[in-house]
Amino acid sequence: GDDEDCIGWMGWCSGKDKKCCKGNVCNLWCRYKADV
């Protein structure tokens, strides 16, 4: 699931699909990483 692709509580994007763990905080970090 998405949790398996989440590293730590920040939910860094990882893997080919760039999936993130669920949760507002994780989603925010995912968007941040995608923009950087």
Query: What is the pTM for the complete model shown?
Result: 0.28
Domain count for the chain: 1
Q: Under 8 Å CB-to-CB from 6, ≥6 apart: which residues? A: 12, 14, 19, 20, 21, 26
Return the pLDDT at 2. 47
* CB 12, CB 6: distance < 8 Å: yes
* Mean pLDDT, range 9-16, rounded to an integer: 52
Cα–Cα–Cα angle for 29, 31, 16, nearest 5°? 95
Q: What is the residue-averaged pLDDT of the chain?
A: 57
Return the pLDDT at 1. 45
* Mean pLDDT, range 6-10, rounded to an integer: 52
* Mean pLDDT, range 4-21, rounded to an integer: 53
* CB 19, CB 13: distance < 8 Å: yes
Which domain does 20 fall in, by range?
1-35
Return the pLDDT at 32. 65
